[in-house]
Amino acid sequence: MLQHLGFSLVFIQLFTLLPTDTKLEKETLIQIIAILAILLAILLGYETFRFFRNNRHKAFLRFFRRVQLEIVLQKDRPLRPQFLTMTIRNTGKREACIESPVLEFRKIWTKRKFKLSGKSGQNIYPMFIDPGNAHQLHIETTTFHQYDRSIKSYYFARIRLTDVDGRKWKSNSVKLRKSLFT
């Protein structure tokens, strides 16, 4: 608050001096501009220090760390599959720490999302995947049908995945049943 008040006082003094004092020399004008430039540099330095002190700089630096994941969703039979197989493969040069994948069932305008926890009720996420390694998870669709019977009428399924840094990936869409447009 005081910084903004100090800036405004300097500007008010500068504007009050200019119209009334016509004998303002070049040296004093240069000194006022230099003082303002120094104050602006201090303010910018303080703001950049605050930016890099917080955890927000990770979001800035993550653009330079490329993590490449390939997510494939496969089904066991052409229509109304009983098992879906999710395969996550790290094809990049950097390791990846992934959060729990989300299984998304889609109709035309509606979506149902389910967070997958792991195998047989055991939480295995967040998971660390080294470069070149893969993770595979078999998903039984009957558990979701028992939870909500209306999911049988959904047409497509897809996996959405995020990592710890907030990057997002999605898999291919798998056709679950015939629809009006396919």
Predicted TM-score of the model (pTM)? 0.61
Mean pLDDT of the chain: 81
pLDDT for 57: 53
Q: Give the whole-angstrom CA distance, residue 169 versus residue 90.
A: 12
Average pLDDT value for residue range 14-28? 62
Q: Give the whole-angstrom CA distance, residue 73 versus residue 26.
A: 72
pLDDT for 28: 85
pLDDT above 60: residue 22: no
Residue type, 89: R
Q: Where in the chain is the domain with CATH 2.60.40.10?
A: 69-175
Task: Look at residue 133 and give its three-state secondary structure.
Answer: coil
pLDDT above 60: residue 19: no
Q: Residue 41: pLDDT band by 50, 70, 90 thresholds?
A: very high
pLDDT for 16: 60
pLDDT for 42: 93
- Among 47-51, 76-80, 82-86, 154-158, the minimum mean pLDDT is found in 47-51
Average pLDDT value for residue range 14-23? 54
Average pLDDT value for residue range 79-100? 89
Place of tokens 């653009």: 63
**Superfamily of chain region 69-175:** Immunoglobulins (2.60.40.10)
pLDDT for 11: 58
Average pLDDT value for residue range 160-174? 88
Q: Residue 15: pLDDT band by 50, 70, 90 thresholds?
A: low
How distant, in Å, are the alpha carbons of 9, 73, 81, 83, 128 from that of 101? 55, 12, 19, 16, 13
